[in-house]
Chains A and B, each alone.
Chain A
Amino acid sequence: MIEVRNISRSYGDTLVVDNVSITLPAGGVISLIGANGAGKSTLLSIISRLLPMSAGTVTVEGMDVMTTPGDVLARRLSILRQDNQMTARLTVRDLIAFGRYPHSKGRLTVEDQGYVERVIRYLELEAVAHRFLDELSGGQRQRAFIAMVLCQDTEYILLDEPLNNLDVKHAVAMMKLFRRTADEFRKTVILVLHDINFASCYSDRIVAMRNGRIAYEGPPEEIITPHVIRDVYGVDADIHEIDGKRMALYFR
């Protein structure tokens, strides 16, 4: 369980996250949605201790993220931000293997090797595993970063716009993989998503943010409604139910 208590964060005079409190239960896929600048990425970075908060506390399984030693937390929670610039030239396999760093501190055991090979297989990166990251396409690189985070094998996996740069096929495969990670391996996957229909189809819960606050929270049936989407994004959407999933059409 992740407990967020009265978190605020300001940049200069602008309050980006405004006194947010929320409890995220363990297990399942949780999507954070909202317009640009609503504070989703900032909230995710604060929960994962990449950004300090101006006020408030975050605990993961009872551990305060600001005071718990970094390596202890790194075995329970992993985070991938968006727009990852990588200057170091590493092969895909080496990068993924660094996901085991919190567990092995660089000396890979046979078990660690097993994790690395399994993740490479899950993400269909076998063909590029030996190549350097700077020789890959944006989508391949994004999948390699996600593979590293999955290789970390933490109970909580936080990903900021993981579908960035992915084509339709790989985006669907990625969402299915998150679903499987939550269902089969009992992980908690927390995603910032821009595509509300992906959020609708694959999430157990959706958290909608607006102006630094949590505006709505609940299962997809409650969030994917014309009223909520109008309120959160300021667009009119028709909602259709297809195969039991609610889809928002907002292209007109």
Chain B
Amino acid sequence: MRGLVLAAAGVIALAAVSLFVGVSDVTIGALLGSATDEATQVLLVSRVPRTLALVLAGAGMAVSGLILQMLARNKFVEPTTAGTAESAVFGMLMVTLLAPETPMLGRMLVAGACALAGTALFLGILRQMPLRSPLIVPLVGLMLGAVITASTEFIAYRADLMQSVRAWETGDFSGVLRGRYELLWIGAALTAIAYVAADRFTVAGLGEDFATNLGLNHRRVVSLGLVIVSLVTAAVIATCGMIPFLGLIVPNLISLMRGDNMRQSLPWVALLGAGLVLACDIAGRLMIRPYEIPIGTTMGIVGSAIFLYLLLRKNTHAA
């Protein structure tokens, strides 16, 4: 419990730093001083929404990875290795192409529905496969994702929408403003539901036989998990784009330290996810000031380094 409080304090500290890092100067002095208007405006319109978006997206994506890993019973699965994120991008493209007037919420729901279909297809393929080596599972997901991405990009290329597709594929919080991140609160609500259902996900993670023995409706829990993961992923992609590796490394790090009993590990996963995204975004804002490196890139570097560490550790539990 004390550890959790410390972790939460760390996330709050990073969030505070995030409020004061950026191109225009927002300092406590400027906020309190006489010429306050501009600083206050920047804070309320840009910095607070951006910081909230980072926290909500980071926690949501990390928890989504955790849920997918429990449902697929494989530590290498997350929304970008299960066809989820690629399907969501496909959905975004379809709405943009066929019904460009659709409001943000509608776009997100279509993307969510596509993500749901793509992830269900992934789990369906896994059920059909006789020998499941742990490494085959993410490979199947990556291939499925590549096929979906190929069709997305073919259509986008024809329709001259490649730029939009790139924006959904690369996480970037620099465009987050008040009025353009609120979908992520839906993701936060879904993450809270995941916490309520944490025991069910853990039981499902023991495997279908154990779950059935314990009287759990396995299929229903898988469906609930898929809906949560798909909608959270869609909300994140619709607001700021894909954040790679997050759903993979955060649950694995927490699994090593605290195990997989989701009732206990989920708050840790959410906090570490939020903290890591905040740190990567702040670093991206500072490195080539006044320009920015998008979080898709910073997280890609940090994430792949941590992932390599997880793979190469002796006595790996990842399987």
How close is B11's CB to chain A, nearest CB, in angstroms?
Answer: 24
Known contacts A98-B206, A132-B259: A49-B317 contact under CB 8 Å = no
- B319 contacts A87, CB within 8 Å? yes
A70 touches B217 (CB 8 A): yes
Given contacts A86-B206, A89-B255, contact A80 B213 (CB under 8 A): yes
In B181-207, the 8 Å CB interface with A consists of 198-200, 202-203, 205-207
A-side contacts of B199, CB under 8 Å:
101, 105-106
Q: Which of B209-233 contact A (CB under 8 A)?
A: 209-210, 212-217
Is there contact, CB below 8 Å, between A91 and B259? Answer: yes
Residues in A whose Cβ lies below 8 Å from that of B96? none
Report which of A48, A75, A85, A102 forms a contact with B207, defined as CB distance below 8 A: A85
- A72, A87, A132, A149: which contacts B73 (Cβ < 8 A)? A87
Cβ distance A152 to chain B, nearest Cβ, rounded Å: 7
Q: In the assembly, what is the distance between CA of A101 and CA of B205, in Å?
A: 14
Interface string of B256-288 (1 = CB under 8 A from A): 000111010000000000000000000000000
Q: How many residues of A contact B (CB 8 A)?
A: 34
CA distance A75 to B213 in the complex (A): 9
A126 close to B (CB within 8 Å): no
**Which positions 73-130 of chain A face chain B at CB distance < 8 Å?**
73-75, 78-81, 84-91, 94-95, 98-99, 101-102, 105-106
Query: B70 at the A/B interface (Cβ < 8 Å)?
Result: yes
Contact B215 A72 (CB under 8 A): yes
How many Å lie between the Cα of A48 and that of B202 in the bound state?
21
Expressed in whole angstroms, the minimum distance between the Cβ of B133 and any Cβ of chain A is 12
How far apart sit A50 and B213, CA to CA, in the bound complex (Å)? 8
Residues of B within 8 A of A95 (CB): 206
Let me know if B261 and A74 touch, CB within 8 A. no
**B84 interface hit (Cβ, 8 Å):** no
A80 — which chain B residues lie within 8 A by C-beta? Answer: 213
The residue of chain A having its C-beta at the shortest distance from the C-beta of B255 within the complex is A89
Given contacts A50-B209, A90-B259, A91-B259, contact A102 B202 (CB under 8 A): no
- Whether B87 sits at the interface, judged by CB under 8 Å, is no
B213 touches A79 (CB 8 A): yes
Give the complex CA separation of A211 and B263 in angstroms: 46
Docked pose: A204 CA to B289 CA in angstroms: 80
| Chain B interfacial residues counted at CB < 8 A | 28
Query: Contact at A74–B213, with CB atoms within 8 Å?
Result: yes
Given A91-B261, A94-B259, A149 contacting B213 (CB threshold 8 A): yes
Q: Give bound CA distance, A49 to B214, whole Å.
A: 12
Write out the residue numbers on chain A whose beta carbons fall within 8 Å of the beta carbon of B215: 69-75, 101-102
Question: Is the Cβ of A98 less than 8 Å from the Cβ of B203?
Answer: yes
B50 at the interface (CB under 8 A from A): no
Within 8 A of A (CB), among B95-146: 134
Does B47 have its Cβ within 8 Å of any Cβ on chain A? no
Partner among B73, B200, B263 whose Cβ is within 8 Å of the Cβ of A88: B73
Q: Provide the residues of chain A in CB contact with B260, threshold 8 Å.
A: 88-90
A74/B214 in contact, CB under 8 A = yes
Q: Point out the residues of chain B lying under 8 angstroms from A84, CB to CB.
A: 207, 209-210
Give B165 Cβ to nearest chain A Cβ, in Å: 34
Residues of A within 8 A of B81 (CB): none
Contacts of B51 in A (CB 8 A): none
Q: Is B149 an interface position by the 8 A CB rule? A: no
Highest count of chain A CB atoms <10 Å: which of B70, B73, B74, B202 = B202
The answer to whether the Cβ of A238 comes within 8 Å of any Cβ in the partner chain is no
- Residues of chain A within 8 A (CB-CB) of B261 are 90-91, 94
Of A78, A85, A88, A149, chain B has the most CB atoms within 10 Å of the CB of: A88
Known: A80-B213, A87-B319, A101-B215. A106 touches B263 (CB 8 A): yes
Query: Are B214 and A101 in touch, CB under 8 angstroms?
Result: yes
Per-position binary interface string of chain B over residues 66-102, scored 1 when its CB falls under 8 Å from any chain A CB and 0 otherwise: 0000100111000000000000000000000000000
**A222 within 8 Å of B by Cβ?**
no
The residues of B with any CB-CB pair to A shorter than 8 Å are 70, 73-75, 134, 198-200, 202-203, 205-207, 209-210, 212-217, 255, 259-261, 263, 317, 319
Known: A78-B213, A106-B199. 14 other contacts (CB 8 A): A70-B212, A70-B215, A73-B215, A87-B134, A88-B73, A89-B255, A90-B206, A90-B260, A91-B259, A91-B261, A102-B214, A102-B215, A105-B199, A152-B214
Complex A-B: 18 CB contacts under 8 Å: A48-B213, A49-B212, A70-B215, A73-B215, A75-B215, A78-B213, A79-B209, A80-B213, A86-B206, A87-B73, A87-B74, A88-B260, A89-B255, A91-B261, A95-B206, A98-B202, A102-B214, A149-B213
